[in-house]
Structure 1
Amino acid sequence: MSNSADSPEGPGRRTSAWAVRGLTAAVFALAGLIFVTSANTAKGTNLRSDSSLLKLSDLIRERSEKNGELNDAAAAVRTDIDALAQRDDGSTEAEDAKLKALEKAAGTTEISGDSVSVTLNDAPPDATANPGYPEPQPNDLVIHQQDLQAVVNALWQGGARGVQVMDQRLISTSAVRCVGNTLILQGRVYSPPYKVTAVGDPGKLKRALDDSSAIQNYLLYVKAYGLGWKVDENDAVTLPGYSGTVDLHHAQPVE
C-alpha cells in the first residue's frame, strides 16, 4: 500500500482543492457585488454615455458661450448708460472732458485709426524640422502664453492706443492666459490661429515687434518648425470698447 501523502487523495492535495474552491467562490461573490453596485448606480442608464456627465471640454465651451452672451448683454446696458450720460446732468464742460479722457484711458470706448495686426498659429500637424534644426518636441509646435504676451507687450511698447485680441478689447486688468494651446481671455475660450490688432502708428508698432527679443526667439521656431507668423498693416480700423465688468475680484481669507 502506498503512503497516503503520495496518494492523489492525500491530505495535502485535499486541502489545496478546498482552498481553490473557496477562492473561486470569493471571486464570484466579489464580481456579483460589483455588478449589483454598478446597476444601482446606473439605475438603467449607461454610465459611460450618460449625457449628464459632460466632458470637461463641453463644459468649458458651454461656459465660454454663456460668458459671451453675458458680455453682449453688458455691452447693451453700457450703451444705454452712455446714452443717458449724454443728457444734461449739471456737470461742467471740464468735468465732461475729464470723464471722456478716463473712459478713453480705461478702454471702454471704441477707438479708430491705422493699425497693425499680428496672426500666430500652431505648426501644421505633420510638421518636421527644417534642415539644421533638431526634431521638434510637441511643445515646439504650438503657440504658448508667452508668445501671445510678447506680441501684446511689444504693441503697447510701440505706442498702441488700443489693443484687441481676437474679438475682445484689452484693458489694464486683462490677462492673456493659455492652457495648452487654448487661449482663455476674460472668461471666454479661443483656439488658434490667434489675431492681435493694435491701433497706432504702424511704423512704430512694427519696429517694436522687430525689437522684441521674445518675438525674435519665437521667430526661430517659425523658421525651424513652421509656426504661423503674419504681420499686416491696415488702414482705418475701429476697435470696440471693452464691454465686460470692471470690478476687481480678489480672494478673501475664511473667517
Structure 2
Amino acid sequence: MCLAAGLLLAATHSVSGGDEIRRSDAPRLVDLVLEARESVDRLAAERDALAAELENTHGASPAADAALQAITRRSDELAEAAGLTPLRGPGLVVTLNDAQRDAQGRFPRDATPDDLVVHQQDITAVINALWAGGAEGIQMQDQRIIGTSAPRCVGNTLLLNGRTYSPPYVITAVGDPAALQAALAEAPLVNLYRQYVVRFGLGYSEEPRAEVEIAGYPQPVRMRYAQPVGPLGY
C-alpha cells in the first residue's frame, strides 16, 4: 500500500510540475457575465453624463443652431418607429416560466434538465409571432425590444442588452390582442413549447389587456454591417 501511494504521489508531482492540478483561478461564465453587466452600467452612466453635457452645449452660430434643431426634429420624428419612446395601448402579456415541482416535490420521471426550463428559442418564437401578429412594440421584462435586441441563454438565466434575468419571463406587446393571440396560435415553435407545457409542466399564459405601457429603448442605437434593402423614403 505504501509503495502504491508513493507511486501515485510521484506521478502526480510529475504531471503537475509542482503546481496545483485543479486551479481555481480559471474564469467562470457567471463571472464574465457579471463583469459585462458592470461594464454596461458604467458605460450607461458615462453615456448619460455625455448626453447631459451635449444637451447643455449650444451652437457657436445661428446656422449651427438651426442645423442642430433640424437634426433634433428629424430624430424625434423617427424615435417612435425606432422604439426609443414609450408606447401605450391595448395589448397582450405573455408569461413563460420554468417547470415547477408537483405536490410531492417531483418532476416528470422522463424529463431531462433541458425539458424543464425556458430556452432562448422559446422566447424568440413568442417575440417573432407577436411581430407577425402586428405588434406595434414589444417589451421583455423591463426592456424594449428593438431591431438589435437579442435575448441569449446564459445557464438558467437570460442575457438581454448586458443585463441578466431569471424566470418568469414577461413579454408585453402593444397591438390588437385578438390578432396577437391568433399569431401565437399559428406559430409552430410556440405550439411546440405548449406541448412541453402539457408534458413537463412549463409555465405559459396569455393575458389580453385593454391597456399596457412599454418603455422606450434608452441606449444609443448603433447598427453594424446593416444596409437598406430598398428605398426607405428618408
Give the TM-score of the pair, scaled to structure 2: 0.71
Instruction: Answer yes or no: is the 8 Å Cα contact 2:172–2:212 preserved in 1.
Output: no
Q: Write the distance in 2 (CA, Å) between the matches of 1:35 and 1:213.
A: 53
Instruction: Answer yes or no: is the 8 Å Cα contact 2:96–2:167 preserved in 1.
Output: yes
Q: 1:247 matched to which residue of 2?
A: 222
Instruction: Answer yes or no: is the 8 Å Cα contact 1:78–1:243 preserved in 2.
Output: no
Instruction: Answer yes or no: is the 8 Å Cα contact 1:75–1:244 preserved in 2.
Output: no
| Shift in CA distance, 170/69, structure 1 to aligned 2, threshold 3 Å | farther
Match of 1:210 among 185, 189, 198: 185
| Shift in CA distance, 105/56, structure 1 to aligned 2, threshold 3 Å | same
- State whether structure 2 residue 51 is matched by structure 1 residue 71: no
Counterparts of residues 80-229 of structure 1 (less than 5 Å) = 89-90=65-66, 98-124=74-100, 126-128=106-108, 135-229=110-204
Q: Write the distance in 2 (CA, Å) between the matches of 1:68 and 1:199.
A: 28
Q: Write the distance in 1 (CA, Å) between the matches of 2:174 and 2:159.
A: 23
| Shift in CA distance, 106/75, structure 1 to aligned 2, threshold 3 Å | farther
Code of the aligned partner of 1:59: L
- State whether structure 2 residue 36 is matched by structure 1 residue 56: no
Q: Write the distance in 1 (CA, Å) between the matches of 2:89 and 2:190.
A: 25
**Residue 80 (structure 1) shift:** 7.3
Q: Write the distance in 2 (CA, Å) between the matches of 1:213 and 1:175.
A: 20
Q: Write the distance in 2 (CA, Å) between the matches of 1:68 and 1:143.
A: 26
Code of the aligned partner of 2:213: T
Instruction: Answer yes or no: is the 8 Å Cα contact 1:209–1:215 preserved in 2.
Output: yes
Code of the aligned partner of 1:109: T
Q: Which protein has the larger Cα radius of gyration, Structure 1 or Structure 2?
A: 1
SS at match of 2:206: strand
Q: Write the distance in 1 (CA, Å) between the matches of 2:86 and 2:8.
A: 70
Q: 1:18 matched to which residue of 2?
A: none
Code of the aligned partner of 2:206: V
Aligned length: 214
Q: Write the distance in 2 (CA, Å) between the matches of 1:80 and 1:235.
A: 40
**Residue 128 (structure 1) shift:** 0.9
Q: Write the distance in 2 (CA, Å) between the matches of 1:68 and 1:155.
A: 29
Instruction: Answer yes or no: is the 8 Å Cα contact 1:144–1:180 preserved in 2.
Output: no
**Residue 234 (structure 1) shift:** 3.0
Q: Write the distance in 1 (CA, Å) between the matches of 2:10 and 2:115.
A: 52
Percent pairwise identity = 39
Instruction: Answer yes or no: is the 8 Å Cα contact 1:74–1:243 preserved in 2.
Output: no
Structure 2 portions without partners, runs of 5+: 59-63, 226-234
Q: Write the distance in 1 (CA, Å) between the matches of 2:49 and 2:215.
A: 13
Q: Write the distance in 2 (CA, Å) between the matches of 1:201 and 1:234.
A: 10
**Residue 194 (structure 1) shift:** 1.2
Code of the aligned partner of 2:30: S
| Shift in CA distance, 34/162, structure 1 to aligned 2, threshold 3 Å | same
Q: Write the distance in 2 (CA, Å) between the matches of 1:243 and 1:180.
A: 27
Instruction: Answer yes or no: is the 8 Å Cα contact 2:138–2:145 preserved in 1.
Output: yes
Give the TM-score of the pair, scaled to structure 1: 0.66
Q: Write the distance in 1 (CA, Å) between the matches of 2:125 and 2:37.
A: 25
| Shift in CA distance, 73/226, structure 1 to aligned 2, threshold 3 Å | farther
